[in-house]
Amino acid sequence: MRKVQSQFGEGALQQKLSVGDLHFLADAYVSNGGADTGPTPHEYLGAALAACTSMTLKMYAGRKAMNLENAVVTVNIERLNDVEIFQRDIELYGNLTAQEKDRLIEIANKCPIHKALMGEIQIKTQLVN
């Protein structure tokens, strides 16, 4: 995996992010002191789950020759009593049987980001300069 790097951007809270040669922004909502020039960190977390889910579904359906034309995955994250609640809604399009749809929902729960979020996570922090 390529490393992800963040550094200060313009304004109060904007961050310039890079992954290899890809560059993008993160920010906070105006109501939280940012300028809303990019997704928030939580929105990136939701995007990671949504993208991983739909990629996993596309790969699986392709291997199993299912007629999956599109998978639209919507993720919303809310915090309640110090618990992050991920609401993931999946829309499956194509000529699919009920059994295939059930199997695809099972497969959605096996995407690597889903597994990472549900498993034990360790964050090791070190000062490098």
Roughly how many angstroms between the first and final C-alpha of the chain, as a whole number?
23
Q: Give SS3 for 126.
A: coil
Coil, helix or strand for 56? helix
pLDDT value at residue 106: 98
Q: Would you put residue 45 in left (φ > 0), alpha (ψ -120 to 50) or beta?
A: alpha
pLDDT average, residue stretch 4-25 = 98
User: For the residues 94-121, what does the mean pLDDT come to?
Assistant: 97
* Residue appearing with tokens 């940012």: 34
- C-alpha 37/C-alpha 47 separation (Å) is 16
Mean pLDDT over each residue of the chain, to the nearest integer: 97
Rg of the Cα trace of the chain? Answer: 18
Residue 54 has phi, psi (to 5 degrees) of: -70, -35
Asked whether 77 and 86 are in contact (CB, 8 A), the reply is: yes
Share above pLDDT 70 across residues of the chain, in percent, rounded to a whole number? 100
What confidence tier does 127 reach under pLDDT thresholds 50, 70, 90? very high
pLDDT at 115: 96
Provide the residue type at 33 as one letter. Answer: G
Report residue 96 as tokens: 């699919």
What's the pTM?
A: 0.94
Q: Would you call 25 helix, strand, or coil by DSSP?
A: strand
Q: What pLDDT score was predicted for residue 31?
A: 98
Whose tokens are 């939701």? That residue is: 46
